[in-house]
Chains A and B, each alone.
Chain A
Amino acid sequence: MNANPPAIQPQPFAPPRFLTLAVLLFWSWQSGLWLPGLLMGLALEAIPFLNPGLEFSQDDFRRVWNFCNLLGLAAVLYAFGNNDRVGGLGGLLHGAANNRAAMLSGVQSVLNFPRWLPIMLFLAIAAQKASAAGLTPATSFSPFLRWYRQKSGEITPEPMLDLSYPYLILCLFSAGIHANSGSQSYFMGMILLVAWGLWPVRSGRFHPLVWLAVFALAAALALAGDVGVRKMADFTRNLSIQWMSRLLRDRTDPKQVMTAIGEVGQLKLSGAIEVRLTVPPAAAPPEYLHLASYRTYHRQSWFTGTARDDFQEIPPLSSGASNFQLIPGRSGSRLVTVSCYLAGWSSSLGVPEGLLPIPPDCDRLEDMPDTVASLQRSGNGAVLADGPGLMIFKAGYGTGQIPEAAPDTNEDLAVPAEEVPALKETLQKMSLDKTRAATLSTQKLESLIAGFFDSRFTYRTWQKAPSPLAGQQTPLANFLLNTHSGHCEYFATATVMLLRMLGVPARYAVGFYVHERSGENSYVVRGRDAHAWCLVWDRSAAGWQTFDTTPASWLGIEGAGGKISQAVEDFFSWLHYQAAKIRWGQSTLRGYVRWLPAPVLLALLAPIVFRRWRRVRQKVVNGPGNQQVFRPGLDSAFYPVRDRLVELGHVPREEEGFAGWLARILEAKHPRLPEMQLRQLFQLHYRCRFHPRGLTPDERDELASLAAQVLHLLNH
């Protein structure tokens, strides 16, 4: 019967009765928000019964949508404030214990935002249901669309959207973000509700049983997919933990460090800023920042050996204080402020964890953040901190005494058997042996070894593949005997081994070398400044001393990089640093974070206020503005008839109006024009266009068929 249906404007496509209530109840069950779910569901079901048919203008819809946005924004801020306790709104809490508890509170609250979505969008869907059209103008969602339509002259009918089903889908999605209940109840409930929603729109061509079977198949596939994805996620999570632990072990694990010794190709060095230092005016920075020392070398890796579990908690100087003493009774005259990131993660405490880069002879730590959960040091000089991801503290140093345990006669003199031949050969070249070394002072020995490396070895980050002639040589032997070139790890390892061969206790130390100035009193340390050197036991002084044999040229080689790209990278690194300061509560900005929502809210409110003000002004100054009005019925099937009538010469006059035009057409006594049908068509269109509630679907069909008939008669 409907020959030429008007296709532009969708009719409201309402979900079956009580489905909305059921979905909202389901959502409230899954999310635990019982009361809002029940109230909203009842309200949405009641609106069609009351049938208020309010005439909302486009502006009203826009206002409702803006309000929903504001509500969403407030919810995001609330969730953020709840979660990010340490750095965010939680700055209100004081005391280390409170802060720690807050940091451990987990990510629960960030999940609240999607859970609240049905509440936030409730007004939008309620406004649509209460409106006469039962649809929402698409332009209320997008200022761009509004602007575009205004620019193009708004001739085409307003595109309308039906939010009913999208809202239900959103509710189901939101119900899926459940924290406590099992996944099976959610899945089964969702399947049932989806079936309920799809049942009324199933195709009549197939038997309902066929439909049910297909739906069951789809549900089974979905269940299988769900389980599969879960399994896959578990698998990759396990996998990635392994990867992570391998990557992070570098320089953050106090127990072992894998060197790049023996790896072929270019050593990759990062320009990322790892540590920032600030020194008092006119003071020099510490030369080295020490992370940890290692004792035993095995297959290109250094291990802590027996010192691996001797971590001991450092008590603060007084209860609740933020100062810690590493060497009792000593206080060096120099002070440096260190900012570093804790890259690891402590699974037992649930906070970031990492080794602190401090000067090798650091004796005390001052002004530690009060959110530090634990501070431990080991016998080989490593200080392990658990606490905020960004640590800013002062390190006191300058006594020259390295706070490490005295040498262990086994481990600090051990040399792997496979390295011995090459080491012996090298010592021969230096004409050194154990007996001669015993006669020399440590300083003399150091200068001999350093002179040997300086004169015969070069620094190189690139390693070619070992020559086949080298046979079963270890990488270290290859370095000492053949290539004579390598990076700091080769030099430091070789020096430690040589010293041990000579009966001098030595350790392998890892950390950073400080040389890059970034401001008047500040320095930055990049990933490529990571360095390895030796600690030598000085018998006469009965203490450890740093000893670096890497040729000084290494700084020039490693610093060679793009200047511009480095500057850009540094800028982002600085941004990240500032963000981390706020995030981990190490900035005075923390106090202002609470005010962060204010400008955002203002920015969102301003257009509304401005628009209102402009509207008022327009009315006063310019009279009626050209503000858009909701114009229903522009998709009426009458318009093709009108165009045809105009083609036939019945042009409507400006002043005569609708009835006048019809009268004139009828007066012309067009031979094939059926008066009755034309009158009826005009009446229906008039009603469709100007009645606030428009036409019923039946009347629409009638209008369409009448228009088709008249058009047919006019054309033939």
Chain B
Amino acid sequence: MTTPSAASRVQAIEVFEKIRSSISQVMRGQDAATRQLLAALAAGGHVLLEDFPGTGKTTLAKALAKSLGADFRRLQFTPDLLPSDILGVSIFNQRDQSFHFHEGPVFTNILLADEINRASPRTQSALLEAMGEGQVSVEGVRRNLSALFFIIATQNPVEFRGTYPLPEAQMDRFMMQLSLGYVSPEEEVAILSGQNSTHPLDLLKPVAGLEEVEVLRQATASVRISEEMKRYIVDVVGATRGYRGVQMGASPRASLALMKTAQATAFFEGLDFVGPDQVRAMAMPVLGHRLVMDPQARFSGETARGVVAEILKKVRVPV
């Protein structure tokens, strides 16, 4: 592995800072969520935003897209949405007597899959290949997506009427699940006054291009991680398997995601190595959505996030 020069590290840090400050102009009081979102971006994963309506999920996705100056599509998931509505479709052209492929919204850089749990499982699964391999196969032809392909999906945790919960395989393909939560009263007041005249989203200008995101990703991958920290990650992830109340634990893909996001977090903090703090910071968003709880445990009020918190306390932290 080649270590990037100090100059490119500095450049990558600047990229991160520019994107972060750009988003924070719109998303007030959501610095932690912004960092986690950017960690997923730098680690090359996808994000599932789960929160109540009106907390700014869509705004966050749009702010990121606008700050990057990347191609951005938004797709509203509904029960009657079909896979071809996502991937694209071949249409017969009368004039030259041949089929022409019309690319679907998935051929973009940043895709906002709004209310993803409203679509049927068939349609949800159309995203599996795109998320996992960065390619889609339509009508037997494989088509590559662009190098930067980042899905931000949102779902509403309270409303279950007319929804299809995401299958486990799909959940596992999201690198992390974030929730924004309600901001403090002061921040909320600031939001009100900020949007008095114009929406700050309209004022956003692109601060970084696709190449700069690539620099960020390379710098993240070069953050070093010791055997001991890898072991700690594996211990934490491994502890979820067979844990009391957990029907299905986290996969090795989860270990990989935890390592990559911890690397990104360490990089954002100016470190060139991963420590336990970075791993712990990322354990909740990376692992929380992957655990399948026992129905009985679920009824007795145990949650996957609670289990992750318990495990973080139980697995011995390297000091």
Q: Which residues of A contact B (CB under 8 A)?
A: 55, 57, 623-624, 629-632, 642, 652, 654-655, 657-660, 686-687, 689-693
Contact = CB atoms under 8 A, between A and B. Distances in A.
9 contacts: A623-B241, A629-B231, A630-B228, A631-B318, A657-B277, A657-B281, A686-B275, A690-B228, A692-B224
A691 B227 contact: no
Q: How large is the interface on B (under 10, 10 to 19, 20 to 34, 35 or more residues)?
A: 20 to 34
B317 A657 contact: yes
B242 A690 contact: no
B318 A691 contact: no
Contacts of A687: 271, 273
Interface in B242-276: 242, 271-276
Given A657-B317, A689-B275, A631 B228 contact: yes
Nearest to A690: B275
A690 B317 contact: no
Given A623-B242, A687-B273, A689-B275, A632 B226 contact: yes
Given A624-B235, A632-B226, A690-B318, A655 B312 contact: yes
A655 B313 contact: yes
A679 B317 CA distance: 20
A152 to B, nearest CB: 16
Contacts of B277: 657-660, 686
B226 A692 contact: yes
Contacts of A652: 319
A330 B225 CA distance: 91
Contact of A691 (B226, B238, B276, B280): B226
A690 B274 contact: yes
A654 B273 contact: no
Contacts of A624: 231, 234-235, 238-239
Contact of A654 (B226, B271, B317, B318): B317
B21 to A, nearest CB: 22
B224 A691 contact: yes
B309 interface: yes
Interface string B193-224: 00000000000000000000000000000001
B229 interface: yes
A654 B313 contact: yes
Contact of B280 (A623, A631, A657): A657
A629 B227 contact: yes
Contacts of A690: 226, 228-229, 273-276, 318
Contacts of B234: 624
Nearest to A627: B231
Contacts of B242: 623
A548 B234 CA distance: 89
Interface string B270-300: 0111111100110000000000000000000
A689 B227 CA distance: 12
Most chain-B Cβ atoms within 10 A of its Cβ — which of A658, A660, A690?
A690
Contacts of A632: 226, 228
Contacts of B227: 55, 57, 629-630, 692
B225 A692 contact: yes
Contacts of A659: 277
Sorted nearest first, the 5 A-B pairs with minimum C-beta distance are A624-B238, A691-B273, A690-B275, A692-B226, A623-B238
Nearest to A694: B226
A657 B277 CA distance: 6
Contacts of A655: 280, 309, 312-313
B167 to A, nearest CB: 24
Contact of B318 (A55, A660, A689, A692): A689
Contacts of B224: 691-693
Contacts of A689: 275, 318-319
A690 B238 CA distance: 21
Contacts of B241: 623
Nearest to B242: A623
Given A631-B318, A658-B275, 4 more contacts: A623-B238, A624-B238, A657-B276, A686-B275
A632 B273 CA distance: 14
A624 B235 CA distance: 6
A690 B272 CA distance: 10
Nearest to A57: B227
Most chain-B Cβ atoms within 10 A of its Cβ — which of A55, A624, A654?
A624
Contacts of B231: 624, 629
Given A631-B318, A632-B226, A691-B224, A658 B309 contact: no
Contacts of A660: 277
Most chain-A Cβ atoms within 10 A of its Cβ — which of B239, B271, B273, B274?
B273
Contacts of B271: 687
A643 to B, nearest CB: 12
Interface in B25-67: none
A692 B275 CA distance: 10
B98 to A, nearest CB: 53
Most chain-B Cβ atoms within 10 A of its Cβ — which of A629, A652, A655?
A629
B232 to A, nearest CB: 9
A692 B317 CA distance: 17
A646 to B, nearest CB: 11
Contacts of A57: 227
A623 B271 CA distance: 31
A69 to B, nearest CB: 24
B280 A692 contact: no
A630 B318 CA distance: 12
A550 B225 CA distance: 90
A631 B319 CA distance: 10
A692 B273 CA distance: 8
A454 B86 CA distance: 124
B228 A629 contact: yes
A70 B273 CA distance: 37
Nearest to A638: B319
A386 B268 CA distance: 85
Nearest to A629: B231
Given A624-B238, A658-B276, A55 B313 contact: no
Nearest to B249: A623
Nearest to B273: A691
A630 B230 CA distance: 11
A686 B318 CA distance: 10
A691 B272 contact: yes
B176 to A, nearest CB: 18
